[in-house]
Structure 1
Amino acid sequence: MGWKETAEPVLTRMPSVSRPEGHVPFKRKLAWTAGVLVLYFFLTNVYLYGLGTAGGDIFGRFRSILAGGQGTILQLGIGPIVTASIVLQLLGGADLLGLDTQNNPRDQVLYQGLQKLLVVVMCILTGLPMVFAGGFLPPSPAVAQGLGIGLMGVKMLLFAQIFAGGILILYMDEVISKWGVGSGVGLFIVAGVSQRLIGGFFALPGIGSEQVGFFPSWILIAIGEQPIGSLFGAGLQQVLMSPQFGLIRLVTTIFIFVVVVYAESVRVEIPLSNARVKGARGRFPVKLIYASVLPMILVRALQANLQFLGRILNAQLGSGMPAWLGVYSDGQATSGFFYYISPIQSPADWIPQLAGSAASAELWQIALRVSVDLTFMVVGGAIFAVFWVETTDMGPEATAQQIHGSGMQIPGFRQNPGVIEKVLERYIPQVTVIGGALVGLLAVMANMLGTIGGVGGTGLLLTVSITYKLYEEIAEEQLMEMHPMMRQMFG
């Protein structure tokens, strides 16, 4: 008996959101999407009952990518969902699952059930160390005394809350995917990054922020309320590199917006014609960023999990932790293995003059860290882009079957899925690798130069790309609403 027969009773009984039986009107999709987003923002402001005042965000600067909120019900964010996707993609890429999700409905159900089960497991494996190791979510002694359950009892209460939050965000994502517009994971990232971007541009002290935003800072500089010193000395460094009003951060933010929108429009268009309807023609676009920017979530999540492991080991071993593995200061690795694999998140991480933490490292150590991060992002971006294309049925074989099934063919070629696949193989694999590597390079570059609001290069790339795709999907939905016959033709 194979693993599928053994696991089938469990996987097929995993709770799921039912699919709509017919076409969901566009306005109803928008209503579902808006409702889930409102619930998401509400839950990120519901703080954990029984949480003490100490502790820090274990995800640190990965928070904008992993969504959620520190110390809230959504403490775990989309981390368990992304980690489960990484595991499934690695298993699927090595062909260890033996599931044919393209043609076998039973295997599709098993795959979806396995994904949910893995998310539940990851909620447990991620939540337990946060609560019971390292003091990242310390229990409140007052609550323990008031409830009479002791500190261990409060810890179990904290774990139950963040576990429930992890399950909630799983099904919120599924509701949007089946009943709404776009992807829940993508929308949650956009929501979090957009908040930080708006704060980075317009924040005022005492109104949801301790720092002054970009535009208020320059207004204060213009009226002489915020001195910056000589433009031929330290003042120039402030004007260019300040976390609040640095001009390089503004230029980088605008540059990423422009490059991603341009890259989304760069494509190879393969002509198609309908074999049954004369004169019906179309084009299949193979975009430069064919796999989208979403595989970057997987790369950064893998880095976040490695840093998570390092902080847990440091919290447990303390001074007994081997120096070659990592030396920590204020929760950040300053040398050793975990230092070299930690990503560059801001200019202060590689320019010694901007931060004391960077100044403690030798130049060769900083250069090695930058090289490792660049290699990890470029190579990892390309690899995960290939996995993403294959597991989401965007590869040449699956795409050829979809084109053939819709009644379309490539003019001048036989109406055969194998022929279509050979044509697509000329473009899709190469473009997938190039696009994934390009996105990784852009993310590292944006992190090194800095962005408004400190959202990070990956967060900004994801936000622009997801928003652009959301715009395309909304335009397509509106077109289908206006012309129902097109919906019947394209399924």
Structure 2
Amino acid sequence: MAGRSSSSSSSSFRLLDLVRPFVPLLPEVREPDGRRVPFRRKLACTAAALFAFLACSQLPLYGLHRAAAAGGGADPFYWVRAILASNRGTVMELGITPVVTAGTLVQLLVGSNLVRADSSNPDDRALLSAAQKLLSIVITAGEATAYVLSGAYGSVGVLGAGNAVLVVLQLVLGGMVAIFLDELLQKGYGFGSGISLFTAANTCEGVVTRALSPATMDRGRGAEFVGAVTAAAHLLATRASKLSAVREAFFRGGGGGGLPDLRGLAATCAVFLAAVYLQGVRVALPVRPRNAPRSHRGGAYSVRLLYTSGMPVVLLSSAVSSLYLVSQALYRRFGGSLLVDLLGKWTPDAAVPVGGIAYYVTAPASAASAAANPLHAAMYVAFVLAACAALSRAWVVVSGSSSRDVARRLREQQMVMPGMREASMQRELERYIPAAAALGCVCVGALTVAADLMGAVGSGAGMLLAVTTVYQCYEAFEKEKTY
């Protein structure tokens, strides 16, 4: 009997229960107390969360040398900053990377049944939320430590042990601010999720800054305005030859890595319009309440072309940034080793990959660079499209948005499709959802590649997320007005 009881108790043990002792220790945003959060309060909380995040994105890290703070050191997140909502040399250096990584890991573990949890059980939902928060904090601390030790701000010996610890603490605090701002919005106090909202805000801020910034930079030809529109107005006002002024305003960036120009701004507008168009493509499947009369008009369940939105690219960017971080740290210490060089070879300042896997998963600097090295361009395009397809398929399953999950939710809401039995709803959804997920991820990947090669200000995925987020907020505004 004793053996049987011990066997029973061991079989009832779950990995999720390991989180239970930490639940009382974790700070938490309380759920709204049973009442609907008023529209104005939601609007105020959303604006306050955005302001706090953007303020932290402009707050420089204390304890850095001036060159490192300005970006003189290695920058593992340089290529993916727009999507990860991070800002170089600031408290929000890590952006949303810890939140995205922790959320993805938890969903993968639950979706693969490695962690058993019942989403209908409030206790299990609370444990899953605590597990994700705890994992986010651990990842934040780990990435902050690895970031400093990898030499992102220069050698630790030059930085000093005290300053190194201080920088790590600031990065951890910045990461925790992002975690709790995201939780504030997720709990219903605001509109949308923090991940998409912060990415959209960071993308829009970057586009506006690079278009209109009055700051100046000296590249050996005298002071030049950083903003593309500001520089174009200055050139037209000061140059005797207007044709020369227009030519420089359009091509001063050199196709990548230089100052923003009107060509990049035009490419940004083209990518933005393409994202707006793709966001509007959808199929509306008619649904109505089960017991409604046949004359009832009912509603529609929309399957968008961008079914998974930009999440596959966000997940891909998070994974690639982690690859950069690991590759840089290893190459700095063990450069020359076959396996380390296979993972990635870097320039002497460890800021740009020049070989290995890290090089081929990095976008070419411009269309001219892609033409000069077609193998790199082809490998990058193939990698982005294949990775987006795989991540999109996995995200549909683990996020509970597969055909089976949607059909189950419709049944739970007592909704049916006119002229179909309940058992046929899943088959009808399977005609559209897998196709939308597959084709949508190809569109997202193609838009990302096109934005990178055309030299757009910001990334295609960032602009796509910005468009999607703004549209979702608009839908939420309209829905709130009906109450």
**Which TM-score tier does this pair reach, normalised by the shorter chain?**
0.7 to 0.9
Residue in structure 1 matching 2:106, options 65, 77, 88: 88
Equivalent in 27, 30, 36 of residue 23 of structure 1: 36
Q: CA 1:104/1:400 → structure 2, altered by over 3 Å: closer, same or farther?
A: farther
* Offset of residue 70 of structure 1: 2.4
Separation in 2, partners of 1:197, 1:226: 29
Structure 2 CA distance for partners of 1:248 and 1:12, relative to 1, 3 Å: same
User: Secondary structure of 2:86's match?
Assistant: coil
User: Which position in structure 2 is the counterpart of 1:97?
Assistant: 115
Aligned residue identity for 1:159: V
| Aligned counterparts, 1:139-154, within 5 A | 151-154=160-163
- Superposed CA RMSD: 3.1
Shift of the alpha carbon at 1:393?
Answer: 2.4
Spell out the pairing of 1:49-128 with structure 2 (5 A cutoff).
49-55=62-68, 56=73, 57-101=75-119, 103-128=120-145
Separation in 2, partners of 1:59, 1:227: 40
1:216 to partner: Cα distance:
2.4
**Which runs of no fewer than 5 residues in structure 2 stay unpaired?**
1-9, 218-222
Task: Give the CA deviation at 1:29.
Answer: 0.2
Aligned residues, how many?
453
Structure 1 residues 5 and 230, CA gap change in structure 2 (3 angstroms)? closer
Q: Report the equivalent of 1:437.
A: 442
Contact 1:377/1:437 (8 A) holds in 2: no
Distance 1:430 1:11 in 2: 42
Does the aligned pair in 2 maintain the 1:378–1:441 contact within 8 Å? Answer: yes
Distance 2:364 2:403 in 1: 35
Q: 1:372 and 2:390 equivalent?
A: no
Shift of 1:230: 7.0
Provide the rounded CA distance (Å) in 2 between the counterparts of 1:157 and 1:302. 26
Cα distance in 2 between the residues matched to 1:298 and 1:424: 25
* Equivalent residue number for residue 156 of structure 1: 165
Change (3 A) 1:137 1:29: farther
User: Which range moved further: 173-182 or 274-283?
Assistant: 274-283
How far is the alpha carbon of 1:39 from its aligned partner?
1.4
Contact 1:51/1:137 (8 A) holds in 2: no
Distance 1:237 1:132, change over 3 A: closer
Q: Is the 8 A contact 2:287 2:418 kept in 1?
A: yes
- The answer to whether the Cα contact below 8 Å between 2:16 and 2:117 also exists between their aligned partners in 1 is no
2:320 to 298, 303, 328: 303
Measured in 2, the distance between the counterparts of 1:226 and 1:309 equals 51
**Preserved contact between residue 11 and residue 110 of structure 1 (Cα < 8 Å):** no
Conserved in 2, the CA contact under 8 Å of 1:344 and 1:444?
Answer: no
One-letter amino acid matched to 1:337: I
SS in 1 for 2:301: strand
Contact 1:217 1:245 in 2 (8 A): no
Q: TM-score, normalised by structure 2?
A: 0.84
* Residue number in structure 2 paired with 1:317: 334
Are residues 373 and 23 of structure 1, via their aligned partners in 2, closer, same or farther at CA, if it must alter by over 3 Å? same
Change (3 A) 1:135 1:298: closer
Corresponding residue for 1:147? none
**Separation (CA, whole Å) in 2 of partners of 1:210 and 1:40:** 30
* Counterpart for residue 5 of structure 2: none
Following superposition, the deviation at residue 112 of structure 1 comes to: 1.8
Overall identity of the aligned pairs, in %: 29
What is the identity, as a one-letter code, of the residue corresponding to 2:391? Answer: F
Shift of 1:205: 3.0
The verdict on how the C-alpha distance between 1:288 and 1:117 changes in structure 2, with shifts beyond 3 A counting, is same
Please list every run of 5 or more consecutive structure 1 residues that lacks an aligned counterpart in the other structure. 145-150, 352-362, 482-491
Report the AA paired with residue 177 of structure 1.
Q
1:164-203 pair list within 5 angstroms:
164-178=173-187, 179-203=189-213
TM-score (norm 1): 0.83
Distance in 2 of aligned mates of 1:196 and 1:317: 36
Matches within 5 A, 1:291-370: 291-318=308-335, 323-329=341-347, 330=349, 331-344=351-364, 346-347=366-367, 349-350=369-370, 363=372, 366-370=373-377
Shift of 1:125: 1.8
Letter in 1 for 2:179: L
1:47 to 48, 60, 70: 60
Summarize the Cα distance change of 1:340–1:164 in structure 2 as closer, same or farther, 3 Å threshold: same
**In structure 2, C-alpha distance between the alignment counterparts of 1:282 and 1:378, rounded to whole Å:** 35
Task: Determine if contact 1:230/1:236 at 8 Å carries over to the other structure.
Answer: no
Residue 45 of structure 1, CA deviation? 2.8
Match 1:220 to one of 207, 220, 234:
234
Q: What does the per-residue CA deviation read over 1:303-358, in whole Å, with 9 as the maximum and x for residues that have no partner?
A: 1111121221222235668654443224212223322232335446535xxxxxxx
Q: Hey, what's the Cα distance between the residues in 1 that align with 2:67 and 2:259?
A: 27
Q: Could you tell me which amino acid in structure 2 is paired with residue 451 of structure 1?
A: A
In the alignment, the residues of structure 2 paired with residue 85 and residue 433 of structure 1 have an alpha-carbon distance, to the nearest angstrom, of 22
Q: What is the CA-CA distance between 1:175 and the residue it aligns to? A: 0.4
Question: How far off its partner does 1:227 sit?
Answer: 6.7
AA at the equivalent of 1:342:
T
**Aligned position for 2:274:** 259
Residue 356 of structure 1 corresponds to which residue in structure 2? Answer: none
In structure 2, do the counterparts of structure 1 residues 11 and 396 end up closer, same or farther at CA, with 3 Å as the change threshold?
farther
Shift of 1:24: 0.8
